[in-house]
Structure 1
């Protein structure tokens, strides 16, 4: 385990408010055959749906286990093309940066898809 006690540099509240973090429900988990670690999530955010690529093949025995679960996602990142697929956001997970097997950042109880964090 590589837990770091150092804290990233301070940012302003205005900078933080630029990040659009929302709750979404994973409705599909699709294998990306060209990649040994990426899967494509189709995520329902209430008013819209996004495809988000996530490197979780090596982190979970069965990535489809997160289908139907709510989690936090960043929805206002620039799109990125990887392995012929477009990623329209980022899954917020907990642990990857500290060298532990990541877990989903989830609301404590169900909330409407598209609910904003912050």
Structure 2
């Protein structure tokens, strides 16, 4: 893989607008109306959210990520896809570079809801 060029510089204040948090994936279920999407139920400590992620074709067994912690962008507007509502975005690694994506995960267990950045 050849790394993509670095994007243009942004102000630190733009970066601070992103709310990226640790959550534990408690359930992974199929989105029947989609060939790509799976519905993740994610525990953020003080609340649970539904996050839709395009991982159905990327993993032989999408439910293998149940119980794992990962990073999620939680301050995006809700998005309706394939008849379901997503309340954030899985922050994964590799997809934009056409690599088999993997979870962005803390190296040690962290409290759900911990912020990245």
- What TM-score range do you get, normalising by the shorter chain? over 0.9
Aligned to 2:30: 31
TM-score (norm 2): 0.97
- Deviations for 1:76-110, whole angstroms, at most 9, x for unmatched residues? 00100011100000001000011110000000000
Ranges in structure 1 where 5+ consecutive residues have no aligned partner? none
Q: Runs of at least 4 residues of structure 1 off by over 2 A?
A: none
Kept in 1, the 8 Å contact 2:4–2:97? The answer is no
TM-score (norm 1): 0.97
Aligned to 2:73: 74
Q: How does 1:1-118 map to 2 (within 5 A)?
A: 1=1, 3-118=2-117
Ranges in structure 2 where 5+ consecutive residues have no aligned partner? none
Provide the aligned C-alpha RMSD in A.
0.8
Aligned length in residues: 117
SS of the equivalent of 1:97 reads: helix
